[in-house]
Structure 1
Amino acid sequence: MTTQFDNVTVLKKGNVYFDGKCVSHTVIFADGTKKTLGVILPSSLTFNTGAPEIMEINGGSCNVRLKGEDAWKTYAAGTSFNVPGDSSFEIEVTETVDYVCHFG
């Protein structure tokens, strides 16, 4: 797992969602790709996606249910999950989650 990103631009303005339960910052790479780095506090939330996403969990733990699925799956540090574009997922954060979201 990558521990740092080199030669990137970081947008100063934070992305604050769900009354501060999720806060992230956007990182732009030289090739134009974007990622967000953030935290989600213990809560139960539903996220909608535009582009496909890979959610990489760096710390904490959560339960996730993708749109159209019945089962919840548990993710912890060192794991990741894929979310299709134009979809959604429910997340129950049991221990503050530190994450990287990879788009596209």
Structure 2
Amino acid sequence: MISTNEYFDGHVKSLGYASAKGKSTVGVMEIGEYEFGTSTHETMVVIEGEMDVKLPGSSNWVTFKSGESYTVDANEKFQVKVPVQTSYLCQYK
């Protein structure tokens, strides 16, 4: 079953699905700044565009571009700045 998710007044939208590897979402973020919280371990893959990310425990922003990924442990918060419309794949464990 495919689920739909919408956050930040529609500026972030995704479709959720389950595969042999587990649960995932694929979505798009509009230009903006966001703070996300995790309930499980997440691997975020940038499909197209880019995002500047401040990971938990860090004071530095790191830019991730198309084809690059980062991980965030469960029960953490992280910040994202999106300078261009950006698509992503988020895999949950």
Q: Which TM-score band applies after superposition, normalised by the shorter structure? A: over 0.9
The counterpart of 1:76, out of the listed 62, 65, 70, is 65
Residue 15 of structure 2 is aligned to residue 21 of structure 1 = no
| Structure 1: gaps of 5 or more residues | 1-9
| Structure 2: gaps of 5 or more residues | none
Aligned residues: 93
2:59 and 2:21 map into 1 onto residues whose CA distance is: 36
State how 1:1-104 maps to structure 2 within 5 Å: 10-11=1-2, 13-29=3-19, 31=20, 33-104=22-93
TM-score for the superposition, normalised by structure 2: 0.94
Instruction: Provide closer, same or farther for how the CA distance between residues 64 and 28 of structure 1 changes in structure 2, counting only shifts above 3 A.
Output: same
TM-score for the superposition, normalised by structure 1: 0.85
- Secondary structure of 2:87's counterpart equals strand
Query: Which 4+ stretches in 1 moved above 6 angstroms?
Result: none
Q: Which has the higher contact order (CA 8 A, sep 6+)?
A: 2
Residues 18-68 of structure 1: per-residue CA shift (max 9 Å, x gap)? 001110001112x47110000011000000000010000000011000122
- Secondary structure of 2:84's counterpart equals strand
2:74 and 2:53 map into 1 onto residues whose CA distance is: 16
Residues 2-32 of structure 1: per-residue CA shift (max 9 Å, x gap)? xxxxxxxx41x41000001110001112x47
Letter in 2 for 1:103: Y
The CA RMSD measured in Å over matched residues stands at 1.2
Larger radius of gyration: 1
Identity across the alignment (%): 29
